[in-house]
């Protein structure tokens, strides 16, 4: 089983500033890692994923996350945020060796971008 | 290609009642997972169905049950509703390890 910790429940930033949303996972077994975004009154949208290969993964809208095995982290970053990035962000992990594909989620980080 | 859809969007029930939530999976996806998202929390895994069989279950009591149909759509049934069952219920379909979520059903138990 996994435990996912999102270290910040709320992150307020000004538009065009850089942002980092922190995520740590618990298990020493191999994992798949995901970031999902949730806009108000909507479901979850997959933002980016790490399955294998390059430890740096990118989304189409400028977010990136780096898988750090030694620190068991998968922090999400964006060099310059927009007001439209305001949303709840969830980090999730899945055990690589499991056929179940169950996702373990963190509690979420509310990113609020101010003009 | 149609995404994951869920119905109804919102639902209000009374404590003790029973409820059925529905999910249509994305085309070609044979696996459906259900999650409960309480207010201010991350989603919690309820169970997963693969080719009409329950494939795994989280820490939820037996009054949470489900079905998957031959077309891979799915139902979540909750009996004897409790106030703490008030939440957003999310359905996700998958073919591999990437899960694609529907918009959710907001259940309020009064």
pLDDT of residue B96: 78
pLDDT tens, chain B, 110 aa long = 568 999 999 999 999 999 999 999 988 888 999 999 999 899 999 999 998 999 889 999 999 999 999 988 999 999 999 999 999 999 999 887 788 999 999 999 99
CB-neighbour burial class of residue A54 (10 A; exposed 0-12, middle 13-18, buried 19+): exposed
Which residue in chain A has the smallest CA separation from B39? Answer: A107
pLDDT of residue A99: 67
**CA angle A72–A56–A21, rounded 5-degree value:** 60
Least CB-CB distance to B42: which of A51, A100, A108?
A: A108
| Mean confidence (pLDDT) of chain A | 91
Shortest distance, CA A94 to any CA of chain B (angstroms): 8
d(CA B18, CA A20): 43
List pLDDT tens digits, range A57-83: 999 889 999 999 889 999 999 999 999
List pLDDT tens digits, range A19-36: 999 999 987 678 899 999
Q: How confident is the model at residue A42 (pLDDT cuts 50, 70, 90)?
A: confident
Helices (H), B1-110: none
Least CB-CB distance to A42: which of B44, B96, B103?
A: B103
């Amino acid at each position: 089983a996994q435990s996912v910790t999102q270290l910040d429940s709320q992150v307020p930033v000004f538009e065009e500033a850089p942002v980092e949303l922190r995520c740590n996972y618990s298990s020493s077994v191999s994992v798949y890692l995901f970031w999902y975004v949730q806009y108000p009154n909507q479901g979850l949208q997959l933002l980016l994923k790490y399955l294998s290969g390059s430890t740096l993964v990118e989304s189409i809208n400028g977010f990136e996350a780096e898988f750090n095995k030694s620190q068991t982290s998968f922090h999400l970053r964006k060099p310059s945020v927009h007001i439209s990035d305001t949303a709840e962000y969830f980090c999730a992990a899945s055990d690589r060796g499991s056929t179940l594909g169950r996702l373990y989620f963190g509690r979420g980080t509310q990113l609020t971008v101010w003009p | 290609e149609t995404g994951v859809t869920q119905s109804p969007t919102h639902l209000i029930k009374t404590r003790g009642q029973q409820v059925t939530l529905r999910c249509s999976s994305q085309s070609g996806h044979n696996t459906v997972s259900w999650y409960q998202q309480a207010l201010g929390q991350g989603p919690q895994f309820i169970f997963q169905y693969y080719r009409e069989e329950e494939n795994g279950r989280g820490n939820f009591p037996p009054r949470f049950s489900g079905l998957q149909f031959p077309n891979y759509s799915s139902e979540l049934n909750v009996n004897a509703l409790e106030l703490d069952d008030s939440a957003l219920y999310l359905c996700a379909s998958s073919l591999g390890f990437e899960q694609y979520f529907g918009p959710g059903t907001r259940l309020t138990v009064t």
